[in-house]
Amino acid sequence: MDQRLVTQLVAINREFYSKFADAFSETRSSAQTRLERIVAYIGDDVKALDVGCGNGRLAERLEREHRRVQYVGVDAAPELIRIARAHNAQTRFVAAEFFVGNLAQRDWHLALPRDAFDVVVMLAVLHHLPSFELRATILREARALLKPGGKLILTNWQFAHNERQQKRLVPWETIGLAARDLEPGDALLAWKRGGVGFRFCHLITKDEMRQMAEQTGFSVLKQFFADADLNLYSVLEKS
């Protein structure tokens, strides 16, 4: 994919999360059942990195579960980091820190603590990054932040299999782009809560996830569909 197009698509998503931070946060609660599948991999005395942490809902959930965790959250949207810090200002069990970092930039991780992490989590993150090359780069950078044998846990939307998400698909011409310039599986999803916005999204299949894992030094431990088949869960291990 042309680098100028990558930059444009990243900017579209950053604009969305900046403009709709509060409305988006209201739809992402720490009480959501799906977080149970993530918390299961994060025990006490673990160092966990939440990449694309949004409003910090995972840290909130870990606190509710009384997990004694050193937690670091990073997100590209300062507005969401503000919300995350406010939601986790008085934790007793979770030692939480939050940082602003744009995954599309190579220096996104430089502000993070240099200690290696036991677990890296990417919940509904990787599919918002345009181009196979950029997604693979993010996995390599995540691998470098993990301890040997550390786990990378991802969820990726399966919008092609979900009726509700299918209704949100809009033509690329809506934002002045042509489908021929995009990669197979790329899509544009509309948001209509508190205004109209758009997000880039890529359909990451089981096969593509395995291909990226093989190319970036991970072993695939487990993959499964859940949440009414909305999400593909992938558990990778640093080889």
Q: How far apart are CA 168 and CA 187, in angstroms?
A: 10
User: What domains are there in the chain, each with its CATH number?
Assistant: 3-238 (3.40.50.150)
Average pLDDT over residues 100-118: 88
The per-residue pLDDT for 33 is 67
| Mean pLDDT, residues 171-191 | 95
Whose structure tokens read 């979900």? 162
**Could you tell me the CA-to-CA distances from 131 to 59, 83, 103, 105, 233 in Å, in that order?**
29, 29, 13, 14, 20
Compute the radius of gyration of the chain from its Cα atoms.
Answer: 17
Q: Return the structure tokens found at 221.
A: 């431990």
What does the pLDDT read at residue 31?
A: 66
Q: Is the pLDDT of residue 114 over 80?
A: no
- Judge whether 235 and 221 are in contact, CB under 8 Å: yes
Please tell me the predicted confidence (pLDDT) of residue 63. 97
